[in-house]
Amino acid sequence: MDLAYKSALELQALYRGGKLSPVEATKAALARIDQVNPRLNAFMVVDAERALLAAQRSERRWRMHEPLSPLDGQPVTIKDTLNLQGYPTRSGSRTTPETPVLEDSPEAARLKEAGAIILGKTTTPEFGWKGMTDGPLFGVTRNPWNLERTPGGSSGGAAAALAAGIGTLAVGTDGGGSIRIPASYCGLFGIKPTFGRVPHAPHVGPFSTLVCSGPLARKVADAAAMLDELARPDARDWFALPYDEESFGRDLGKGVKDLRIAFSPNFGEAKVDADVLALAGAAARQFEALGAKVEQVGSIVPALRPGFEKYWLAGFGYTLAQIAPERHALLDPHFLPLAQRGVSVSKEEYFAGHMARVDLGTRLERFFADWDLLLMPTMPVPPPLASTAYHVQGNDRWEHATPFTVPFNYTGQPGASIPCGIGKDGLPVGLQIVGPRFSERLILQAAAAYEAASPMSWPQAAIERNLGR
């Protein structure tokens, strides 16, 4: 417990002062996995042997005062939609190969080059298809705040592990909210960067122009430090933005004075739980107290479902078409009927969805001509029971899971979720901070100012009780 909830920057200071070694921190993280993962089910793979070898190398570098980066010696995790050399990439599915991949993804490669200690691969629903984390391959991943609830998805294993005090940072991916949803449900900070900011490969599948990788963290400064490393160039990603050597943590201390900030509690005509709405509204007022010029605005854009549902289903249809029919019975039984519907989406309907993306992006580009940042709840409702089926009445994807998150995958804009309080049910609520494209530093700056005024404390007594500590 002395080490479980240290921030990355706190560990770095301990390493620098010779008061802790990366080997000690890694052993503590692996012990924590043994203690709490049986209740969470957050890992597909725990790579203890290679983690300890990497920790020994990091320890030698710190002894020589030659760390590779601020991440050197940091225990981290990586989501099982990303390639980690020597292990299969199952993407949460029984239909994917069990053959180990031969090379690291850009994200894993950057972590290793920075000296980070990869503890293992975390769980994800099949192909990252939903905002919960469960599936036929590995079972149900649970939220450490309440083991009956979902941690969200699709980076649910990453968020559950981090909120439970395993490691200092986690890498998630986000194609519709998959970093921000579990960040909100697990009381973490998570940022989806501008599309192309973090090199990603291979780009496969119909959602390849929506998916971004990014950090989950317990502290904003930790996320900024990880983003510095993840954003380094990799020639394998044709979509990658030009590399910007300026640190993403450069402006963390600047505050929000005089920033023009809009608050949209019902963005996209979303219907929001009263408790969530109250906490998000209080957070918006906190920004005003910090010196920002905050104004409540309307829904800004119409409901997304009419323009995008068939576009979403078409992607599943494409995925299904790549899987041999005799293996369809292995799929998540809730994914299969949606994918079957997607097979019948016409080319005209699919391209109508593409043009709806263009229209949405144009609307929001014009919006940000007048505003620096946009605030809204990250999620419209508290986390549902982990046993709840996804995209059914009472847990509809468009109404209850992604109305605030998926728009910014369609437009490629950056967005972050930061904790803004604990609801009456004892579960955390997230506030989403969105900016125009390429504005990660401004989002991090605003998040750091809010965090300083309204910090989330770690450890949380509720989590430790649930984990039997």
pLDDT for residue 1: 67
Question: Quick one: which H or E segment has residue 261?
Answer: strand 260-263
Both tokens of 468, joined, read 């039997």
Domain boundaries, the chain: 8-305+349-466
* DSSP-based three-state secondary structure for 20: coil
At 341 the pLDDT is: 97
Q: How far apart are CA 130 and CA 133, in angstroms?
A: 7
**CA-CA-CA-CA torsion for 201, 164, 148, 176, nearest 10 degrees?**
-30
Angle (CA) 205 211 214, round 5°: 140
Classified as helix, coil or strand, 140 is: strand
The helix/strand count (H/E) of the chain reads as 14, 13
How do beta strands 373-377 and 428-434 pair? Answer: antiparallel
Closest-CA residue to 72 (of 148, 9, 142):
9
Number of neighbours of residue 17 by Cβ within 10 angstroms: 8
Question: Residue 449 has what pLDDT?
Answer: 98
Sheet of strand 117-122, all strands in order from the earlier edge strand to the far edge? 43-46, 117-122, 75-79, 169-174, 212-217, 189-192, 415-422, 428-434, 373-377, 260-263, 293-296
Is 154 among the catalytic positions?
A: yes
The C-alpha torsion from 70 through 73 and 74 to 77, rounded to 10°, is 130
Compute how many other C-beta atoms are within 10 angstroms of the C-beta atom of residue 64: 8
Rounded to an integer, what distance in angstroms lies between the CA atom of residue 311 and that of residue 397?
A: 14
Written as tens digits, the pLDDT of the chain (469 aa) is 689 999 999 999 999 999 999 999 999 999 999 999 999 999 999 999 999 999 999 999 999 999 999 999 999 999 999 999 999 999 999 999 999 999 999 999 999 999 999 999 999 999 999 999 999 999 999 999 999 999 999 999 999 999 999 999 999 999 999 999 999 999 999 999 999 999 999 998 889 999 999 999 999 999 999 999 999 999 999 999 999 999 999 999 999 999 999 999 999 999 999 999 999 999 999 999 999 999 999 999 999 999 999 999 999 999 999 999 999 999 999 999 999 999 999 999 999 999 999 999 999 999 999 999 999 999 999 999 999 999 998 899 999 999 999 999 999 999 999 999 999 999 999 999 999 999 999 999 999 999 999 999 999 999 999 998 6
Backbone CA torsion sign across 86, 51, 121, 419: negative
Encoded amino acid at 12, one letter: Q
Short-list 427, 417, 419, CA closest to 457: 419
Rg (the chain; Cα; Å): 21
Return the DSSP state at 4. Answer: T
The catalytically annotated residue of 79, 112, 121, 219 is: 79
Domain 8-305+349-466 has CATH 3.30.1700.10: no
Alpha-carbon distances, residue 6 vs 46, 169, 457 (angstroms): 21, 10, 11
> Phi and psi (nearest 5°) for 143?
-85, 125
Side-chain-side CA neighbours of 451 within 13 Å: the count stands at 29
Would you call 105 a catalytic residue per the annotation? no
DSSP per-residue codes, 97-138: --SPPSS--HHHHHHHHTT-EEEEEE--SGGG-SSS-EETTT
Which residue among the candidates 69, 91, 105, 178 is catalytic per the annotation? 178
Q: How far lies 417's CA from each of 216, 344, 431, 433, 449, in Å? A: 10, 35, 5, 6, 14
Answer whether 0.95 is exceeded by the pTM. Answer: yes
pLDDT at 205: 82
Catalytic residue of the set 21, 58, 91, 154: 154
- For 306, half-sphere exposure in the C-beta direction (CA atoms, 13 angstrom radius) is 5
Identify whether 178 is a catalytic site residue. yes
CA 415 – CA 191 distance, rounded (Å): 6
Provide the 3-class DSSP secondary structure of residue 458: coil
Asked if residue 273 lies in contact with residue 265, where contact means CB atoms within 8 angstroms, the answer is: no
pLDDT for 312 equals: 97
To 5 degrees, how large is the angle CA 216–CA 426–CA 180? 25
- Cα distance from N-terminal residue to C-terminal residue, the chain: 9
- Count other C-beta atoms under 10 Å from residue 175's C-beta: 23
pLDDT value of position 448 = 98
What pLDDT is recorded for position 2?
Answer: 80
